[in-house]
Chains A and B, each alone.
Chain A
């Protein structure tokens, strides 16, 4: 086999295996170019998009898909009969630099199956990051996986060279994890997260006193949860995400709809549709908590363990809390305006800016990009010919659903079996 053919094959195998780790962020760091070297890492730029609509901003590969573990949900599990491959350190560095110079990518996302041991694997990943930074003077974005079980020293070194470090919790419940990966438990994942949380905070404090302190994982930590593989509720998922954001200072939690890849009867069968709507609602709920000032228990709870699939979580909340409306956007607080369905963070900020100059009318709102057809049920904007009817939550819901051109309209057929 020609040298290039072998290289193509390796890349196909190892990129294919890495694609289920959905983290794609390339922003969050403020890394600048140094000494007329190569690159910087302060933009989130999506250089390409796959046919499934997701962004490609990094070279996302596994160092190798050989693995000593046998987690049922993973395509690279030991017992799976697939082609295995491995990159050398030089190959990864060469490929990263060459792609970067051509403006194909913002940087590297490097994960790996565990070969030999956690320490051996982690050492290899760190070596690649170190070579890129020190030998190639590469200042682009580097995202490394933190391998659970690796030593603190290796984690510390990783933080010095990478912009982001992440370790995936994968299964949202301990029960689910035990069922599918008996060798693993959540503790394995929390331990490196704790260490990194302390190290990141420690470096930030030190930098305030000693300016020359090197950056340590400036883009913070993230993690991923697989949705729809083990029958967990949205409440459990969002509860766990909330814990990560508030107690572990994670920057992002990703929700990845389970793509059936095995015949194992512990998991949804091949052919089961990917729960994309549920994934979308979870991201919407995640945004509400992070940017709209919502508390998790306003969106889900023991009496409401799952998010509504037909309508988004903000509208669902509004319909459960009609007593908070109508809102007069010309006098209300920014925080309350953000809660109006159809008005996003940016539109809310625009409203607050613009109302200083004149009392805003419906035409003004429509011009600013507010989803007026939806927001009108919740606004106290006077309109000469509007009859102020008192609609029930059900009526409002029905009216909004009939009017909107949902991108999911094809999915709501009786045959759809969602987890």
Chain B
């Protein structure tokens, strides 16, 4: 026996129309991947009254096969106007949340930012406190994630001194925090040349006693003798640090769960104290 089940489709006429309409009305916004670039994109979305936008960065495969592509050329004036508009509606903290979200590399982060901006501009007053609203909440959470990671980087970066008096450090942060921590290190280590390299994103920040600059490096991975690379007292201080770290532990209060909670294992790779002997890392 064959039962034919009749499924009653109650699609409203308007829905059908808009469903078709939206696929073809979707716009893929391609920008250069910088924050001013994203702000310019926002300007142009409002300028051209685009709806249903999808963000993609230059060089990335465009995810949408349908719809229109709109390429954004970064324009400082347009970006500044958007920023000023946001400053009227947000506190410094609120604007900072948006900025931090940009570096979070979380899934659909640029869309989260866009929903946030839409809500902010659509409201007459400051709405950054409307925490039960998803757009606001998602940006706050993303900013919190970035803030935590940048705070951890300020803590876990360990410099090593080379023979030519450069303090260098290698890290692999969970998100792109180098631009956010550069100023902290510039202010603190104003009288020493330093370099922090993000091994995951393959670029670094270098301070030459005057200015900061982005750098790309190629590492010579051939086994070089450490003595050739390091300053003559570097190994001594690394060992002193290891000894110090071992001596401050109170064994009667051992709590490895708490220890790992504060210092997750993924950061141990570049921590001097977690390696029993000096390594080129």
| Per-residue interface assignment for chain B, residues 136 to 171, with 1 indicating a CB less than 8 Å from any chain A CB and 0 otherwise | 010000000000000100111111110000010100
**Residues of A within 8 A of B (CB-CB), count:** 57
Q: A8-B243, A47-B155, A102-B167 given as contacts; is B252 within 8 A of A259 (CB)? A: yes
Residue contact B273 to A48, C-beta cutoff 8 Å? yes
| From B132, B237, B239, contact of A358 by CB (8 A) | B132
For residue B250, give the distance in angstroms from its CB to the closest CB of chain A: 5
Whether a CB of chain B sits under 8 angstroms from the CB of A364 is yes
Residues from 20 to 48 in A contacting B, C-beta threshold 8 Å: 20, 32-33, 36-40, 43, 45-48
B207–chain A nearest beta-carbon distance, Å: 12
The verdict on A12 contacting B254 (CB below 8 Å), with A33-B188, A103-B169, A356-B129 known, is no
Q: Are the C-beta atoms of B132 and A52 separated by less than 8 Å?
A: no
CB proximity of B180 to chain A, nearest CB, Å: 14
Within 8 A of A (CB), among B167-204: 167, 169, 184, 187-192
Whether A53 contacts B259 by the Cβ 8 Å rule is yes
Q: Is B249 close to A, CB under 8 A?
A: yes
- Cβ contact within 8 Å between B187 and A52: no
CA distance A104 to B191 in the complex (A): 17
In the complex, chain B residues whose CB is within 8 Å of the CB of A145: none
Contact: A15 with B244, CB < 8 Å? yes
Alpha-carbon separation in the docked complex, A180 to B158 (Å): 42
User: Given A52-B251, A101-B189, A357 and B245 touching (CB < 8 A)?
Assistant: no
A396 contacts partner chain B, Cβ-Cβ < 8 Å: no
A101 touching B159, Cβ below 8 Å: yes
CB contact under 8 A between A33 and B190, given known A11-B240, A354-B131, A367-B132: yes
Query: What chain B residues lie within 8 Å of A59 (beta carbons)?
Result: 244
By a CB distance below 8 angstroms, the chain B residues around A102 are: 158-161, 167, 237, 241, 272
**Beta-carbon contact of B262 and A46 below 8 Å:** yes
Instruction: Specify which chain A residues have a CB less than 8 angstroms from the CB of B254 in the assembled complex.
Output: 51-52
Check if A38 sits within 8 Å of B131, measured CB to CB.
no
Of residues 244 to 260 in B, which have CB atoms within 8 Å of A's CB atoms? 244-259
| B24 proximal to A (CB < 8 A) | no
A317 CA to B259 CA, complexed, in Å? 31
Given contacts A102-B167, A357-B130, A360-B132, contact A52 B259 (CB under 8 A): yes
State how many angstroms separate the Cβ of B94 from the closest Cβ of chain A. 11
B253 contacts A53, C-beta separation under 8 Å: yes
Cβ of A333 within 8 Å of any chain B Cβ, yes or no, is: no
Q: A379 interface residue, CB < 8 Å from B?
A: no
Q: Is there contact, CB below 8 Å, between A11 and B129?
A: no
- Minimum Cβ distance to chain A for residue B11 (Å): 31
- Whether A148 sits at the interface, judged by CB under 8 Å, is no
A103 CB → nearest B CB, Å = 5
- Residues of chain B with a CB closer than 8 A to A15's CB: 243-244, 247-248
Which residue from B132, B161, B189, B190 sits with its C-beta under 8 Å from A357?
B132
Is A218 among interface residues, defined by CB-CB distance under 8 A? Answer: no
Partner pick for B250 among A19, A98, A354, CB 8 A cutoff:
A19
Is A257 in the interface zone, CB < 8 Å from B?
A: yes
B159, B188, B259: residue with the most chain A Cβ atoms closer than 10 Å? B188
Task: Compute how far the CA of A367 lies from the CA of B273 in the bound complex, rounded to whole angstroms.
Answer: 38
Whole-angstrom distance between the Cβ of B142 and the nearest chain A Cβ: 15
In the bound complex, do residue B191 and residue A43 qualify as a contact, i.e. CB atoms below 8 Å apart? no
List the A side residues contacting B241 at CB < 8 Å. 99, 102, 104
Contact B249 A50 (CB under 8 A): yes
Give 1 or 0 for each of A233-260: 1 = CB within 8 Å of chain B CB: 0000000000000000000000001011
Q: How far, in Å, is B40 (CB) from chain A's closest CB?
A: 30
Q: Does B88 contact A (CB under 8 A)?
A: no
Interface residue? B68 (CB, 8 A): no
Is B133's CB within 8 Å of the partner chain A?
A: yes
| B133: chain A residues within 8 A (beta carbon) | 357
Asked if B271 CB lies within 8 Å of chain A CBs, one says: yes
B233 within 8 A of A: yes
Q: Find A8's partner among B132, B137, B239 (CB 8 Å cutoff).
A: B239
B252 x A101 contact (CB < 8 A): no
User: What B residues does A40 contact at CB under 8 A?
Assistant: 187-188
B236 interface contact, C-beta 8 A: yes
Chain B residues whose C-beta falls within 8 Å of the C-beta of A36 in the assembled complex:
190-191
CB nearest to A95 among chain B residues? B240
Taking the complex as formed, is A266 at the interface, i.e. its CB lies under 8 A from any CB of chain B?
A: no
Max count, chain A CB within 10 A of own CB: residue among B131, B169, B239, B272: B131
* Cβ–Cβ contact B248 & A60, under 8 A: yes
CA distance A116 to B271 in the complex (A): 40
Q: Contacts A48-B273, A52-B255, A360-B132; is A11 near B247 (CB within 8 Å)? A: yes
A56 within 8 A of B: yes
A37 to B187, CA, bound (A): 9
| A interface residue numbers (CB < 8 A to B) | 4, 7-8, 11-12, 15-16, 18-20, 32-33, 36-40, 43, 45-56, 59-60, 95, 98-99, 101-104, 137, 257, 259-260, 273-274, 276, 350, 353-354, 356-358, 360, 364, 367-368, 407
The 22 listed contacts between A and B (C-beta, < 8 Å) are A8-B239, A12-B247, A15-B244, A16-B248, A33-B190, A38-B189, A38-B190, A43-B184, A51-B251, A51-B254, A51-B255, A52-B251, A53-B253, A98-B240, A99-B241, A102-B158, A102-B161, A103-B169, A259-B253, A350-B131, A354-B129, A360-B132
8 closest A-B pairs by CB: A53-B258, A353-B129, A52-B253, A354-B131, A357-B130, A15-B247, A49-B262, A53-B255
